[in-house]
Structure 1
């Protein structure tokens, strides 16, 4: 089944997203330029952010199966046809997969996506993986509540019944499912959902009441609810012991 393009073309939302990625990966300037790969470049804003960063020195490569770019400078764009990446092993210091894995296909394609992230990542490199949580209340691509809660065969009929679209082609994951896949792909991981929630509030709503409230809530009180956070976010690294 062919996959639809779901690129986010709202450029104003991409810079805060890129800043959050920078902070969550704790990126710092290195002696040599950071080799950065963004899988699923969409409008090109995140690749542009890192490629033109005033402090980090990044050589950015971006790939996508659909060319929806609105910003073209600051990075090299390489079109791809599937999940296989046209790069040698251990090529990149940083690999970014931001809301991509739910679009690549069924579980076998998702596993290949994760294996390719591991393959092209340098030993000691860092990866950023963001995935819509199946148990999110509002599905982000169609803005429809509980869409991904339905069993897979009922999602498209529900989408049509609510007059939000003709076909649901996304495969969001739940926390335990995703973590099992990360381990199977040979990736060490750290769940950053709580940290990402805090960074999002600090970047986008620094003076808001909700931000001040969450500053007072310890991480330990939030971690049991990670499986309900709308986006599952992980920092991943190559596990050199499994393969």
Structure 2
């Protein structure tokens, strides 16, 4: 069964506007990316946040990376981000994770946090991520554990272990 896009996800989840919580997540991203990049200075890297929502995380990331681009299918969230944050190295645009406008081999780091379960075709999104990453670049990926007792979106116990229809 195909999933539909959630075009107004930010309007359904007020918790996405919790600045303290979002900046804490962004700090974790910076630390992990810095550790993974090793000797490479992240301040010179171009980062693309796929599913950037309202821009709070990207605003934080822009203090640590060379250029930060945030894309999201959620146009109200992108409008909020464009109006709320203004840094010369921070850019927001409405965009589809399954059909990114970025050129091939153009991005040093991609952040894809808690997104794959919200797109209609996760494999197509992963192919796009691979296409836009430069050779030797990396993706910071975060997703829910399918074996969690409580499914985080629907708050139903054991939902993730129910077999899918054939």
Q: How does 1:8-27 map to 2 (within 5 A)?
A: 8-25=16-33, 26=35, 27=37
What TM-score do you get using the length of structure 1 for normalisation? 0.54
Q: 1:38 aligns with which of 49, 52, 61?
A: 49
- Report the equivalent of 1:116: 128
User: Structure 1: how far apart are the matches of 2:96 and 2:117?
Assistant: 16
Bigger radius of gyration among the two:
1
SS of corresponding position for 2:99: coil
SS of corresponding position for 1:125: strand
User: Structure 2: how far apart are the matches of 1:22 and 1:32?
Assistant: 10
- Report the equivalent of 2:91: 76
Cα gap change, 1:93/1:18 in structure 2, threshold over 3 Å: closer, same or farther?
A: same
User: Structure 1: how far apart are the matches of 2:54 and 2:17?
Assistant: 5
User: Structure 2: how far apart are the matches of 1:57 and 1:110?
Assistant: 26
Cα gap change, 1:31/1:17 in structure 2, threshold over 3 Å: closer, same or farther?
A: closer
User: Structure 2: how far apart are the matches of 1:20 and 1:149?
Assistant: 29
For structure 2, list consecutive stretches of 5 or more residues without a partner in the other structure. 11-15
Cα gap change, 1:82/1:118 in structure 2, threshold over 3 Å: closer, same or farther?
A: closer
User: Structure 2: how far apart are the matches of 1:32 and 1:100?
Assistant: 25
RMSD of the TM alignment (CA)?
2.3
SS of corresponding position for 2:4: coil
Question: In the TM superposition, what is the alpha-carbon distance from 1:31 to its structure 2 partner?
Answer: 8.9
Matched, 1:131 2:139: no
Question: In the TM superposition, what is the alpha-carbon distance from 1:32 to its structure 2 partner?
Answer: 7.0
User: Structure 2: how far apart are the matches of 1:3 and 1:148?
Assistant: 20
Matched, 1:149 2:161: yes
User: Structure 2: how far apart are the matches of 1:42 and 1:3?
Assistant: 13
Question: In the TM superposition, what is the alpha-carbon distance from 1:143 to its structure 2 partner?
Answer: 2.8
User: Structure 1: how far apart are the matches of 2:149 and 2:116?
Assistant: 19
- Deviation per CA, 1:111-159, whole angstroms, max 9, x where unpaired? 1111111111112212111111221112222333222222346xxxxxx
User: Structure 1: how far apart are the matches of 2:124 and 2:107?
Assistant: 17
User: Structure 1: how far apart are the matches of 2:127 and 2:96?
Assistant: 17
